[in-house]
Structures are given as C-alpha cells and as structure tokens.
Chain A
C-alpha cells in the first residue's frame, strides 16, 4: 500500500514536470529567453494548474458520488450540472453578454452549474433528506432537458460565436489564464478538504443508511454536505475549462482496482489520478499536431478508455 501511494505521488510530480517543459517544443528551464519565459509562465503553467484542478475535482467528485449514490455509473455530470452550465454559457454567448469581459462565460457557466445543482438537490429532497435514487433520476431528467435545449439553440441559431462555443463546451484548456485560477482554486480546495475529512462517513454511507447511523454518523447530514461540496467542485471545474468526460466516471474505478474501496485512500487517489490524466491528455492534445490543438476531453477518453477496458479484463471488478 505504501509503495503504491509513493508511486502515485511520484507519477503525479513527474507528470507536472513533463507537462511544463515539453509540448509543441521542449523548453529548457535553465536557458530561458523572453519568449520561452512567457510561454512557460503565462501559457503552460496556468494550463497545467487548470488541468490539475479540473482533473482533481472531477476524479474526487466521481469517487464521492459513486459512494453517496451507491452506483458505479454515477459521475459528476450525471447530476445535470454540466448540461446546466453549458446551457447558461451558450445563452450568454448567443445574447452577446460581456458584462465581465473574458470572465463572462466562466461566471455564467458557474452560475448555471450551481442553479442546476440546486434544482437537482431540491428534487432529490424528501422527508428531510437527500435520497440517492431521487438525486440520480432528477439529475438524469434535468440533464436530458438541458442538453435538448442546448441542441435546440445550436440547431436554430445562425450565431457564429455559438458554434465556436461548442468547442469550449466539449473541453478547452487553451484559454487558461492565471486570472481565472484563484476562483476555481478556492472551490476545488474547499470541496476536496470536505470530501477528505468526511471520507470515513462516506465509507459508512456506502454500507447503507442504517449502518451509517449505527456507526455514529447522521446519514442525511453527511450526504448533503458531500453533495454540496461535489456540486461546487464540479461547477468550478466546468467553469474553468468546459466539460471533460471520462475522468469523473472511470478514474475512480481505475483507482479502486489498485487501492480498493476505502474512501480514505480512494478519494485522494482518484483526485491525483484525475489530475495527472487530464494533464497528460492536454499535453498530448497540444503536442501531437502542432500548431493545431486537439480538445483535451477527446484525448482523455481515447487514452483512458482502452486502459480502463484492459484493467477490467485483467482485474476482478470491485463494486463501489
């Protein structure tokens, strides 16, 4: 166990270093000219930070949601959060809003995500608590509604900006900028902190509400706390760089193959793996066909899915 954790952390640091110094061209940190300095500090570094934050938020959120919903198919997007965010972002683009400059779209996306999360929470609320099945179904229902509305807008609109915006909706880290990071950072760190400190309660929740109760936790309170922190992390992640699939759903399973189902290890491991995976995917996306960039979301799924399927064949599938 200890060596595996060490291995994971080494991998994580190595990925960060590789992502910073390689790319369309290699940058030697000891021989920087003006241009390379700008590339390293204002273009690559914020991008790596955004990839890490998004990947960590999605990985951890996935692990937590699969736990509180007791469903191996749950992921942060199943709650409709991302489709709500995409919808408000698209509405902002189509109506030409720019009240906050380049912050407009991220802020709208964040607001959309929070509102959607709130609606899902309200729909999932019954008899003084959140119920997993209700949450899941409310999320799926809302998600269909919002995606349909987005598709409707895309198919009737002749707005050129909206069609470009779909690139953002499907995951785009190219506009990562230091100015946007602090806001995302606050929510992701806070969310991660809550999830990590409540990991024991999460372990209990997986076993069922009655056992949770007898283990000394208040199931409804814990579920609400975890749900809110996952919602905030996911909202922050979507607003930083759009939707990245795969990580929230499958990274927790990959972590589970190696470390087992104990949330105390699973949540941080899913966060680290998620961050590392998105970092690598983004590195590949920007290095493969320069000067063209490939969307990170697509690369993530292309490199992640075969590995997941390979593990699925090799290892015993562990339940949530």
Chain B
C-alpha cells in the first residue's frame, strides 16, 4: 500500500513536467504567411525564430530571420534555427519538405484549412498544438461572434453582383473556392466570377460586359494598383458600375486566411452599404 502511494505521488509530480515539455514548443518557425499572422495574433511573436520571405504582416514579422520562400524554403536554414516545431500549410508548402523535417525528427504542424468556415477551428487547433489554448479560444470565439453578427445582418432579397479583382493586367479575378469568394457571400453579395472553373481565373473582359457587376472591388496589393487598374477601367467604361463610380479599392485583408480575414469581410460589407 505504501509503495503504491509513493508511486502515485511520483507519477503526479512528473506528469505536469512531461506535458509541459511536449506541449509548449519554445522555438517556432512559420512557413506560411497566414499562419505567421495567426501566431502573432496568439501572442507567440517572441517565440517565432524564423519566417518566410513572404511573411510581411504584422510589422514585427519583417524583422524575423528569413528561411526562404513558401515553395522553396531552405532546409538548412530551418534546421540551423533549431526549431521545436515548424508550422506549415498544405496551401503553398511542398509536402516533401514536411517529410524531410519529420525524417530529421523535427516536429511539424500542418494547417489544412483553406476556407472561411474552417478558420475558427484552425485557430483553436494550432493554439492547442502550441500550448496557448485559452488565447486561441478567445480569438476564435471573437471571430465566430463577428461572423454570426454578419450572418444575422444579412438581408434577404436580391443580392448585389460583385467582381473582386485581384490583379488588373492581365485581369485576374477571385473565383470559386477562395476565401474571397466565401467573404463575398458572407458580406451579402454574389460573386460574378464564381462560375469560373479556377480559383484565380484569368477573367474574360467580354464576360464582365455580358454579365455586368453592380460594383467592382479591387484588392490593393503592394504595388500601385490604382494606376495599374486605369487601363482596364477605361476599357469597360460603358459599365454602369464604372460610369457611376462604384469602384472600390480595399485592403489586402482577405488575401490570407488569418486574423485579418473577418475585418476584410466587414470592409467588404461597408463597401456594399455605401
């Protein structure tokens, strides 16, 4: 009996230690810009030791050590930073890279979520894997509440037709299966490019004229998109949306599935109500 008590006491003493060691990685590398944003939003900024060249948000991410591109990260750079875990995505990182890391006994976390409805759970899951369950729950809960509010505010009836331009020349629109397509639906509009057969189709200018959108939204990238869009807008100037100046430039919040996504939807909704 006494032996058993001692054993139980020992186990209880050790248990928290082992859980701690397994659950809270101290050195994190992120190979996906959207996951970098999620990690910063979860307050893990000072634990991040490496990011990709594309990780430019928030500002602090720019000052982190770079380990290469999304599709071609440097294995050597990753290994030399001695990460406890490497956060990756199925949307842009090569599968082989995760296998190489695993064969080197480096832990990976691979995010598979690509659509808006998966976002809150994606945040919870990565939060659990990185030992910040409570903060993740708070962030995901906030997202869910704001999405519910957007759902509740959506008025039934005819929807405005929206064209979301990702790049004006050559014209690339946001098509079906993208976060932007989901966002347009949640904001209460119809995506005119949702019939295209690709996520980011090279969109036909004829098609814009044949199926005219009520408003055109142009996503601001890092370049001078306003100037670049002028040629395209001149060519479709007979559209009511262009004549009546329903052309809106929005932030790049919707380009990544992360903490800024819901704000991007709220921005779209504000544009629709203008």
- Expressed in whole angstroms, the Cα–Cα distance for A95 and B175 within the complex equals 29
Interface residues contributed by chain B, number (CB under 8 Å): 37
Complex Cα distance A164/B202, Å? 10
A38 to B240, CA, bound (A): 14
Knowing A164-B170, A174-B170, the reply to whether A158 touches B223 (Cβ < 8 A) is no
A206 CB to nearest chain B CB (Å): 39
What are the residues of chain A within 8 A of B56 when measuring CB–CB? Answer: 158
Q: How large is the interface on A (under 10, 10 to 19, 20 to 34, 35 or more residues)?
A: 35 or more
Query: Within 8 Å CB of A197, what residues of B?
Result: none
Contact at B204–A96, with CB atoms within 8 Å? no
Kindly state whether residue B231 has any CB partner on chain A within 8 Å. Answer: yes
B206:A292 contact, CB within 8 angstroms:
no
- With an 8 A cutoff between CB atoms, is A319 at the interface? no
A34 vs B211: C-alpha distance when bound (angstroms): 14
User: Which residues of the partner chain B approach A289 to less than 8 Å between Cβ atoms?
Assistant: 196-197
- Residue of B167, B197, B224, B235 touching A292 (CB-CB under 8 A): B197
> For residue B196, which residues in chain A have a CB less than 8 angstroms away from its CB?
289, 291-292
Query: Does A42 make an interface contact (CB < 8 A)?
Result: yes
Q: Are A160 and B222 in contact (CB under 8 A)?
A: yes
Query: Could you tell me the distance in whole angstroms from the C-beta of A36 to the nearest C-beta in chain B?
Result: 9
Q: What mask results when residues 277 to 302 of chain A are scored 1 for a CB within 8 Å of chain B, else 0?
A: 00000000010011111110000000
Q: How far is the CA of A158 from the CA of B33 in the complex (A)?
A: 12
> Are A175 and B204 in contact, CB atoms less than 8 angstroms apart?
no
Indicate if the CB atoms of B223 and A102 lie closer than 8 Å.
no
Q: B250 interface residue, CB < 8 Å from A? A: no
B contact residues around A44 at 8 Å (CB): 206
* A161 contacts B by Cβ under 8 Å: yes
Cα of A293 to Cα of B209 in the assembled complex, Å: 15
Q: Which of chain B's residues have a CB closer than 8 A to the CB of A316?
A: none
Query: Contact mask A35-73 → B, CB, 8 Å, 1/0?
Result: 100110011100000000000000000000000000000
Bitwise, B195-206 to A at CB < 8 A (1) or not (0) is: 111100111111
Among A35, A42, A102, A291, max chain B CB count under 10 A is at A291
B175 to chain A: closest residue by CB = A292
State how many angstroms separate the Cβ of A145 from the closest Cβ of chain B: 22
Chain A residues, CB < 8 A from B212: 35
Within 8 A of B (CB), among A134-179: 155-156, 158-161, 164, 167-168, 172, 174-175, 177
Contact of B203 among A101, A158, A161, A293 (CB under 8 A): A293
* Smallest beta-carbon distance A156→chain B, Å: 8
A96 in contact with B171 given A35-B209, A43-B205, A291-B201 (CB within 8 Å): no
Would you call B177 an interface residue if the criterion is a C-beta within 8 Å of the partner chain's C-beta atoms?
no
Question: Does B91 have its Cβ within 8 Å of any Cβ on chain A?
Answer: no
Please, how many angstroms separate the alpha-carbon atoms of A7 and B205 in the complex?
A: 33
> Cα distance A190–B69 when bound, in Å?
46
B202 near A174 (CB under 8 angstroms)?
yes
Would you call B167 and A35 a contact (CB within 8 A)?
A: no
Instruction: Say whether A291 contacts B231, CB under 8 Å.
Output: no
The reply to whether A292 and B203 form a contact with Cβ atoms under 8 Å apart is: yes
Give the interface of B toward A (CB within 8 A).
Answer: 53-54, 56, 69, 72, 167, 169-172, 175, 193, 195-198, 201-207, 209-212, 221-224, 227-228, 230-231, 235, 238
Which 8 pairs between the two chains have the least Cβ-Cβ distance?
A: A291-B207, A102-B231, A292-B201, A292-B196, A164-B167, A293-B202, A161-B223, A160-B221
Q: List 17 extra interface pairs beyond A96-B223, A175-B231, A291-B195, CB under 8 A.
A: A23-B206, A24-B206, A34-B238, A44-B206, A102-B230, A102-B231, A160-B221, A161-B228, A167-B202, A168-B170, A172-B170, A172-B202, A291-B193, A292-B203, A292-B204, A293-B202, A294-B202
